[in-house]
């Protein structure tokens, strides 16, 4: 699973609980995109979550 290179956000795990209270494994995936980012004057491709993109923590190349 990909993780955000800026904040480290990744997938979370837990239980999906049905109406009859039976439990099965569930995974919540973060909204992570592969983006070209400006790093030290050059462009580098990295995984970044959309909350970091929208907040301006990263500048696109």
Q: How far is CA 35 from CA 10, 49, 56, 60, in A?
A: 16, 9, 13, 7
pLDDT in tens, 15-27: 999 999 999 999 9
Q: Distance between CA 10 and CA 33 in Å, rounded? A: 12
Query: What is the per-residue pLDDT for 1?
Result: 79
Query: What is the per-residue pLDDT for 14?
Result: 98
């Amino acid at each position: 699973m990909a993780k955000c290179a800026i904040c480290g956000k990744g997938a979370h795990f837990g239980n999906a609980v049905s109406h009859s209270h039976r439990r099965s494994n569930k995974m919540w995936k973060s909204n992570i995109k592969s983006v070209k980012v400006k790093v030290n004057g050059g462009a580098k491709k990295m995984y970044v979550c959309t909350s970091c993109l929208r907040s301006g923590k990263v500048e696109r190349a």
